[in-house]
Amino acid sequence: MTEFSGPAVAESQAVLTIDLGALAENWRALAKRVAPAECGAVVKADAYGVGIEAAAPALAKAGCKTFFVALPSEGRRVRAVVPHAVIYVLNGLFAPSVPMMIAHDLRPVLGSLDDAALWAKAGRLRPCALHVDTGMNRLGVAPGDVDAIARMDLAIDVLMTHFVSSENANDATNDIQIARFASVRGALPHARASLANSSALFLPQKPYGDLVRPGYALYGGNPTPGAANPMRAVVRLEAPLLQTRIVEPGETVGYNAQWTAKRRTRLATIGVGYADGLPRAAMGIDDRLGGEAMIAGVRCPFAGRVSMDLTVIDVTDVPAEKLPGATAVLLGDGITVDDLGLRAATIGYEILTRLGARYYRNYVG
């Protein structure tokens, strides 16, 4: 339960609780699943919104040695809190970043022939990874270019690729990508193979290679959509009710009157809005369900548009005597990041990475 007291809560109203124990447990569960392959951790985008400075040391303490970030700035932040970490920068090598990559001992994931040439100039013996594109067409060299890069004698310690649809176990693309990767594997026999993101750890093909790269599942997202979530929830978001009111049938709520009361309705207002990362698309409008909050154990729908700093919730089904002192749980008590993503026409990944900066952050575990 969240403790609603103290000056920080008084300033921020909503409390974001981040369970570092659950994060560590999720990492250990995945590490056990893939052993003897090594389990790394993806901590890009501020560790999927939960905070690099808290998450990276917690993961390191659980036994994680290898970290993946998108940007050099994120790599610098991991280096500051986990001095001995092996850190790969997924977004490739950007020429202006080379000095700081070297200064902070960050390993680029080379994603083009230009990247490879640039790193060769920086010093062939500095470790790096090579990303081979097997179907994503986003970053990575073509399979046909791997031989040429192998001849450059770079210190490539990891050969990686990335799945297009690993969350769909029946998607034929998974097998095609595994086969394409296997066809270039021999060009760099000393590099370790890395293919798998969170969902790929649950594919029947078990494409673990030597090093896996889970992100989403570590933070409690469901890597097996459509089936039960095997991971523990890491984030909980809870906000106090600022006020309640009764409206009569026919009255509307919020901007542009997008929700109309069909019955005598009790409404509660919370101080969380789209400026906090609660998607505006989670609005509850007539005849279309939006986001929900758990209030005194009852699932309550959003009413009307989510505004910048405020959201209104239909709490009619909560017994009135339970409302004084009650809070609205937006994430937690059975409401997952995947649920909110679905109700907001997005995915749980976006819910996590947009978790707002105005919440009081309470790290536990």
3-state secondary structure 225-276: CCCCCCCCCCEEEEEEEEEEEEECCCCEECHHHCEECCCCEEEEEECCCHHH
Q: What is the closest distance, in whole angstroms, from the C-beta atom of residue 170 to ligand PLP in the complex?
A: 18
Contact 141, 147 (CB under 8 A): no
Neighbours of 288 (CB within 10 A): 10
**Residue that the structure tokens 């009569």 belong to:** 248
Closest to ligand PLP by CB, 161 or 327:
161
Beta carbon of residue 173, minimum distance to ligand PLP (angstroms, whole number): 15
Question: Which listed range, 49-57, 207-215, 259-267, 303-311, lies at the site for ligand PLP (CB under 6 A)?
Answer: 207-215
Cα–Cα distances (Å) from 254 to 250, 267, 326, 344, in that order, read 13, 11, 22, 18
Q: Which stretch binds ligand PLP (CB under 6 A): 30-38, 192-200, 238-246, 270-278?
A: 192-200
**Alpha-carbon span 239 to 262, nearest angstrom:** 26
Binder among 17, 198, 336, 353 for ligand PLP (CB under 6 A): 198
* Residues within window 134-173 making contact with ligand PLP, judged by CB under 6 A: 162
Please indicate whether residue 255 is annotated as part of the active site: yes
278 is an interface residue for ligand PLP by CB under 6 A:
no
Closest approach of ligand PLP to the CB of residue 336, in Å = 15
Q: Using CB under 6 A, count the residues that bind ligand PLP.
A: 12
- Which residue's CB is nearer to ligand PLP, number 214 or number 254? 214
Of residues 12 and 198, the one with the C-beta less far from ligand PLP:
198
- Binding region for ligand PLP (CB under 6 A) out of 9-17, 21-29, 76-84, 215-223: 215-223
Q: Which amino acid is at 269?
A: T
User: Measured between alpha carbons, how far is 6 from 69 in angstroms, rounded to an integer?
Assistant: 34
214-253: burial string, b at 16+ Cβ within 10 Å, e else: bbbbbbbbbbbeeeebebbbbbbbbbbbeebeebeeeeeb
In order of 47, 64, 218, the CA distances from 23 in angstroms are 11, 12, 6
Matching residue, tokens 């609660």: 278
Options 216, 259, 359, 360; binder of ligand PLP; rule CB under 6 A? 216
Asked if 203 touches ligand PLP (CB under 6 A), the answer is no
Could you tell me the smallest distance in angstroms from the CB atom of residue 119 to ligand PLP?
A: 18
DSSP 149-163: HHTTT--EEEEE---
Nearer to ligand PLP, 43 or 315 (CB): 43
Out of 61, 206, 255, 322, the active site residue is 255
- Cα–Cα dist 252/277, whole Å: 24
Shortest Cβ 16–ligand PLP spacing (Å): 20
Q: Of 214, 220, 277, 356, which one interacts with ligand PLP (CB under 6 A)?
A: 214
Site membership for ligand PLP, residue 215 (CB under 6 A) = yes
Q: What residues form DSSP beta bridges with 239?
A: 328
Q: Answer for the pair 173, 135: CB distance below 8 angstroms, yes or no.
A: yes
Spatial CB neighbours of 121, under 8 Å, sequence gap ≥ 6: none
Measured CA to CA, the distance from residue 39 to residue 361 in angstroms comes to 27
Per CB under 6 A, 181 contacts ligand PLP: no
C-beta of 196 vs 267, nearer to ligand PLP: 196
Active-site entry in 44, 48, 208, 216: 44
Q: Per rule CB under 6 A, is residue 90 in the interface with ligand PLP?
A: yes
Contact map string, positions 17 to 56, toward ligand PLP, x by CB under 6 A:
-------------------------x-x------------
The contact set with ligand PLP (CB under 6 A) reads: 42, 44, 90, 162, 197-199, 213-217
Which residues are tagged catalytic?
44, 255
